Amino acid sequence: MRNEPRRRADYLGLREALGDRLLPVLVAAMSFLAALAMAGALASATLATRWQGDAASQLTIQVPQPTAPDASGKAPRLDSVMAALKTMPDVADEQVMSPQDVTALISPWLGADPAQLGLPLPGVISARWVGAAPPDALGPTLEKLSPGTLVQTGALWASRVAALTTSLQACAAAILIIVALVAAAVVAVATRSGLAQRRETITLIHALGALDDDIAGRFAARITLLTLAGAAAGAVLALPVLAWLGALAAPFAGPAQINDVFNLPPALMFALPGLPIIAAAIGWGTAQLTVRGWLRSLP
Amino acid sequence: MVKFEDVWLKYRHPARQGDAAPEALRGISFEIPEGGFRWLIGPSGAGKTSLLKLIYLAEHPAKGRIDILGTEAAKISRRDAALLRRRIGVVYQDFRLLPQLSAYDNVALPMRLARRNETQIHADVTEILRWVGLENRLHARPDELSGGEQQRIAVARAVVARPKLLVADEPTGNLDDEQAHRLMHLITALNRLGTTVVVATHNMGLVEGWPAPRLTIEHGKLTHAE
Ligand SMILES: Nc1ncnc2c1ncn2[C@@H]1O[C@H](COP(=O)(O)OP(=O)(O)OP(=O)(O)O)[C@@H](O)[C@H]1O
Ligand SMILES: [Mg+2]
C-alpha cells in the first residue's frame, strides 16, 4: 500500500517508462552548451561595443607641408590646424605626434629613416572624437585651413570589429538552434521509447476511452519535469565555467567589470534562468507532437 | 442501439497470407434493440472477435454502416469516439489487465479515466469485486491471480462504470460451471437494468442454460440472426 496513491496517479507507469536518468543528463548537456553559446554571444557583443567605440573615436589627422603657411598665410599649417581642433568641443586629447613617432609609424613601409629618402614628412595629429554625430564635416573644415589635410577615423577598423561580432553571434545563434533541435530530437526519442514500453497500457487506456489530450498531457507533463530539471542542472553547472571564462576575458573587458564576482555580462544573468524554461517548452511541445502522432495509429 | 448494415471487414495485415486473403467479415447486417441481449456463436476463427471489435470501435469497417448507441461510428470525431468508448464495457478474450496495477486499480481504471471521485470509485469497485467473488484479492497483481480470477477482474472492469453496452468475448472461457453461472447472473442483472449485451462464446451449454436470441457467424458471414 506504500505506493498506492502514487501508482493511482501514474497508471501509465511513466516514472519507469520515462526514467529520470538519461533524458535529464542529455538535456543538461544541451543546456550547458546553450549557456556557453549565449555567454559567448553576449560577451562578444559587450566587448565589441567597447572596442568599436574605442576604434571609431580614434582620429588621425595628416597635415602635408606642416611648416608651410596656411590658407590665411598667417601661421604654419600644423599650428593653425591644431588651434582649430582645440576650439572644437567634439575633439579631445589632440596631440601633435613627434617626428620620431611619425617615423616609427611609417617605417614599416618606408624603411628605418624615411628622411633619407628625401620625402617630406607630413605633420600628424592624433585626437579623439567625442561628438555624438560622425566626424564627417571635420575633413572639409580643416581642408580649408590647410589644403591636402586628411582626416582618418577608426571607422574601417570599427566595421571590421562589427563584422567579427556579427559572425560570432551568428555562430552562437546557429549553436543555439542546433542545440534546440538536438534537444527536441532527444525528447522525441525518449518519448518514443516510453510509448514503446507502454504500448500495451496505452492501447488499453485508449480502448477504455482515454482522450488523446489526456495521454499526451501525461507524457508531456513528465517530459516537462525532466527537461526542466535537466536544463536547470546544466545551466547551474555552466556557471563556474562561465565565471572562469569571464575571468580570462576580464583584461579585455576593461576595468569596469572586474569588480563583478562572476564577471558575466548582466544580460546573461537574465538569459540563464530562461534556459530551463525554454527547454521545458521544447520538451512539452515535442512530447505532445510525438505522442499525438503515435496515437494516430490507434483506431 | 447496435445496428450493422452490410458491414465488411478486411484486416490490413491478414493472418492468412497471399492474394486470396479473405475478408474477416462479409456483408454483416443485424440489429440489437436497446436493452437487448444476444449470444454471438460460431466456430473458432469464424469472426466473432472481429465483429465485436467493430462494435467496440477497435476496427474500422472496409464497407458498410455501423451505428452504436445511436451514433454512426464512421461520422464521429476522435474525441467523441473516446467518449463513446467510455459507455461501452468490454471483456476481452485475452483479458488485457495491466500487469503493473493491482486488481483494485485495474477495475478502477475506467472510473479514473472518467474522473470520478475516489469515494465513489472505492464504493463501486469494492462492490463489483464482491459480486465477482474477489473482495479478498483487491491488492493482488494480475500475475498473482489464476486465469479464472483474472477473467473475473476483466469482467468487473467492464461493468464497473455501468456501461450502456456490454461486449463480452468468451467471458467464461476460464471459469468453472459455478463461476460461469454466477457471471451470467451478473450480466443478466445488468441487462435487466437496461444495458445492451452481446456475449460471444463457444460454450453451448451456457447458451442453452440462458436462452436468448443468437447471432451465428461462420466464415465471416452471418448465417443466422434472431
Ligand atoms: N488482427 C488481425 N489481423 C489479421 N487477421 C486477423 C486478425 N484478427 C483476426 N484475424 C483473422 O480473422 C479471422 C476471424 O478471427 P476472429 O478472431 O474474429 O475469430 P473468432 O471467431 O473470434 O475465433 P475464436 O473463437 O477462436 O476466438 C481469422 O481468420 C483470423 O485469422
Ligand atoms: Mg475470438
- pLDDT tens digits, A217-276: 999 999 999 999 999 999 999 988 888 877 776 665 555 444 444 456 677 778 888 999
**Ligand nearest to the Cα of B47, by number:** 1
Instruction: Tell me the β-bridge partners of B8.
Output: B63
Burial A169-187 (b: 16+ CB within 10 A, else e): beebeebbeebbeebbebb
- Give the Cα separation of A223 and A236 in Å (integer): 20
CATH number at residue B24: 3.40.50.300
Residues of B in contact with A11 (CB under 8 A): 98, 101, 105, 109, 112
Tell whether B86 lies on the interface with A, counting CB pairs under 8 A: yes
Tell whether B109 lies on the interface with A, counting CB pairs under 8 A: yes
Sorted by sequence, the CB contacts under 8 Å of residue B38 that are 6+ apart come out as B32, B197, B198, B199, B212, B213, B214, B215, B226
**Probe residue for ligand 1, chosen from B9, B11, B40 as the CB with the greatest number of ligand atoms within 8 Å:** B11
In contact, B223 and B217? CB cutoff 8 Å: yes
Q: How far is CA A62 from CA A115, A152, B43, in A?
A: 17, 8, 108
Tell whether B122 lies on the interface with A, counting CB pairs under 8 A: no
Task: State how far residue B117 is from chain A, nearest Cα, in angstroms.
Answer: 12
Specify the pLDDT at position A263.
55
Positive or negative, the CA dihedral A253, A258, A260, A262 is positive
Q: Are strands B2-9 and B25-32 parallel, antiparallel or unpaired?
A: antiparallel
pLDDT for B21 beyond 60: yes
pLDDT in tens, B163-207: 999 999 999 888 888 888 888 988 999 999 999 999 999 888 889
pLDDT in tens, A121-157: 788 888 888 887 777 888 888 888 888 888 888 777 7
- Give the Cα separation of B28 and B198 in Å (integer): 15
Tell whether A206 lies on the interface with B, counting CB pairs under 8 A: yes
Ligand 1 nearest-atom number relative to CA B93: 27
- A-B Cβ pairs (cutoff 8 Å, strict): 56
The type of residue at A52 is: Q
Task: State how far residue B119 is from chain A, nearest Cα, in angstroms.
Answer: 14
Q: Is A137 helix (H, G, I), strand (E, B) or coil?
A: coil
Residues with CB under 6 A from ligand 1: B 11, 13-15, 24, 42, 44-50, 93
Q: Whose CA is nearest to atom 12 of ligand 1?
A: B24
Burial B30-64 (b: 16+ CB within 10 A, else e): bebeeebbbbbbbeeebbbbbbbbbbbbbbebeeb
Task: State how far residue A221 is from chain B, nearest Cα, in angstroms.
Answer: 17
pLDDT in tens, A49-88: 777 777 777 888 888 888 888 888 788 888 888 888 888 8
Count of structural domains, chain B: 1
Q: What are the backbone angles phi and psi of residue A128, rounded to the nearest 5°?
A: -125, 135
Q: Between A201, A210, A299, which is nearest B113 by CB?
A: A210
Q: Between A1, A207, A214, which is nearest B85 by CB?
A: A207
Q: Between A1, A13, A209, which is nearest B113 by CB?
A: A209
In contact, B90 and B111? CB cutoff 8 Å: no
- Give the Cα separation of B57 and B90 in Å (integer): 11
Ligand 1 centre and the CA of B209: distance in Å?
Answer: 27
CB contact under 8 A, B113 and A201: no
In contact, A180 and A55? CB cutoff 8 Å: no
Q: Which domain holds residue B147?
A: 2-225
Q: Please compute the mean of the pLDDT values over residues B55-61 and round it to a whole number.
A: 93
Residues of B in contact with A13 (CB under 8 A): 100
Cα Rg of chain A (Å, integer): 32
